[in-house]
Amino acid sequence: MTQGKLVIGIILLALLQLVACERNNVDVATEKDKSLKLSGIEASKETNIKRKEPVNFLLNSELPASSYRWKVLPNEYVFIEKGSENTTIIFDQAGTYTVVAQDSITLDSVFLSVSVGTEIYQDILEPIKGDDIISLTPVTYADSAFHIDFTALSTNDYSCSNNSLTYSLGKTGNTYQINLAGVTIPADCSGENSKAKSKIVFNWLIQENVTYGLEITLNGKTYEGSFERKGEKYQFNWPHTAGVILTAKSL
């Protein structure tokens, strides 16, 4: 009888050790899975951040963006815009903040501390990239054939979805000059990188049967062409296929 109890005890001990081993393996696997899912936060800046400056945060994670959420502590005067990859956060007041990325299911979290100074972020002007091609689309209006504008769009992407292509406009005789100066990145930057765009508004009346010169300067190079209005129709002479191009040569 004693020998039987001893055998049963040995079996129970073996089972307990097996369960403990399996539990340990599960814990290790779980911790490994957690570390793979949420391994850390990267930020475009962690210190010397200006008030109202957009800061991009990226979570090193195997989770899809829809599976985690962002929080900031303290959360007063903080604006969060979650993108498909990066998340942009703007801090309106100086101080030290903790940025938190949290798994919305397991509630596992990773943290990053950032410091914001008292200086206020201002608009900046980024140069137009050297390999960029600017597409100009002429725009006319049914109720005013003597008026023409252009929409300008870059091929390359620039910071923020609310950027703008900055230009200056002039006229010498019958020649119009457009200088594409750069891309304005606003202090209230929002959204992900996008193409630079702008509407170029002509404030002059376009006379009929007059050939007008058109000079557009991009990155120090001037592209030349001309256009003419006949009634409600416009005809453009624009030979360029790089740098600055026209999307339509007749309207």
Tokens found for residue 115:
């410091």
**Residue spans of the chain under pLDDT 70:** 1-38, 65
Segment 149-171, tens digit of pLDDT: 999 999 999 999 999 999 999 99
Mean per-residue pLDDT over the chain, rounded: 85
For 29, residues 6+ apart whose C-beta sits below 8 A from its C-beta are none
Could you give the domains of the chain?
A: 40-120 (2.60.40.10), 126-246 (no CATH)
Q: Rounded to an integer, what distance in angstroms lies between the CA atom of residue 118 and that of residue 47?
A: 12
- The reported pLDDT for the residue numbered 188 is 77
Q: Rounded to an integer, what distance in angstroms lies between the CA atom of residue 91 and that of residue 73?
A: 11
Tell me the sheet residues that pair with 166. 182
Question: Which of 52, 55, 49, 53 lies closest to 70 in space, CA to CA?
Answer: 55
pTM of the shown model: 0.58
Segment 26-67, tens digit of pLDDT: 344 344 444 446 678 999 999 999 998 889 898 887 777 677
CA 117 from chain center: how many Å?
23
